Structures are given as C-alpha cells and as structure tokens.
Amino acid sequence: MIAKNAAKIKNLIQENYNKFVDAIDFTISQCQCKSIGQFVIHGYYDRKIRTNGWLVILLVIQRMKCKSCGKTHAVLPTSIVPYSQILLTDMIGMIISHEEKTSYKINKDSHLTRKDVKYVIKQYLRHWRDRILAIASGSIIEFLRSSDLTRQVHCAYNTAFMQVKRCSYLLSY
C-alpha cells in the first residue's frame, strides 16, 4: 500500500482520485526495500466503498510495482482503509460511539448496516484498542478525533489504523 494523506480530496470520486495519484511524485517514493523511484504502474483494480448514506463509491485503484523487489502496492488516500469497503471516518465514528457508549447513527438510505458496525467494533477491540491506548497521550476519544491519528499509528505500527490484513503500508506526507 502506498498511502498519502489527502485531506484535500473533498469528494472521493474517480476524477479526484486520479488527480491525487497524479500529484504523488513516485520518482522520490521509497519502497520498504529502501529503493527510491523504482515504482512502475502495475495495473488497476476496482474498489467499492459503501458510505453511511445513499452513496456507493466505485473507484479504479492504481497499483504500482517496485522494480527492485517486485512487490506490488496499491495507491490509496488515507481515508480508505486497505481491504475495507468502509471509509476510515465512518469506522472512527462507530468506534467513538462505542467508546462513548452511545449507538452509532445509521443514516436513512445508508449502505452501512448494524452488522457492519458490529464487525468494525469487533475488529477494533480484537486488534486495535490496546495498540491505540499504548500510544494515545490524552483520552482515547480525543486521540481518535485527532487529525494526527493516521500518522501516529503509522509511526508506531507501520500500518493503517483499522487495517487487519497484513500488507506493507508506505505512508507519504
């Protein structure tokens, strides 16, 4: 995974995703094998994202391959959790509701279900809560709301917050 903070992506549509990818300078991107500027385009795949509303986002995600080590990496904005159909902001909303002992609000026409919420919370408790507690300086809710969450999780664990499946995660800023 090659991830980049993309606070500027307002609407996650293909056109904006393409602009986001175009803005990444792969000639200075470093692979986990330490090689720099060795990435070449290695195809595309479809990703479906279900939001807490009427919108279902369909994106064609670009994949890069490192010529040096042969590993492939998907290019994702940090708002997308690797391998998940649920956006990071929605997951964080569910987790904060859980921490605050309130019920997560599923909007009218939502493409998310109670089952999704249950699944996200289960994954959070199983894989992430202790790790977050270990690096949160203030309260856990404050930390979850912080704009620095993605970076701090990456620094500590070399992965994306709420990522469950193992894969390399290269975050650039």
Name the residues that contact Zn ion, by CB under 5 A: 31, 33, 35, 66, 68-69
Q: Which helix (H) or strand (E) holds 144?
A: helix 140-145
What is the closest distance, in whole angstroms, from the C-beta atom of residue 15 to Zn ion in the complex? 29
User: Of 39 and 128, which CB lies nearer to Zn ion in the complex structure?
Assistant: 39
User: Of 87 and 171, which CB lies nearer to Zn ion in the complex structure?
Assistant: 171
What is the closest distance, in whole angstroms, from the C-beta atom of residue 73 to Zn ion in the complex? 9
36 - beta bridge partners?
Answer: 30
141 - beta bridge partners?
Answer: none
- Residue 119, token pair as written in the block: 């699944």
171 - beta bridge partners?
Answer: 3
What is the closest distance, in whole angstroms, from the C-beta atom of residue 72 to Zn ion in the complex? 10
CB atoms within 10 A of CB 115: 8
d(CA 125, CA 58): 29
What is the closest distance, in whole angstroms, from the C-beta atom of residue 71 to Zn ion in the complex? 5
User: Of 7 and 40, which CB lies nearer to Zn ion in the complex structure?
Assistant: 40
* DSSP code at position 161: T
Does residue 155 come out as left (phi exceeding 0), alpha (psi in the -120 to 50 range) or beta?
alpha
In the chain the first and final C-alpha atoms are separated, in Å, by 14
CA 118, chain centre distance (Å)? 19
What is the closest distance, in whole angstroms, from the C-beta atom of residue 24 to Zn ion in the complex? 16
User: Of 29 and 51, which CB lies nearer to Zn ion in the complex structure?
Assistant: 29
d(CA 20, CA 16): 6
User: Of 42 and 98, which CB lies nearer to Zn ion in the complex structure?
Assistant: 42
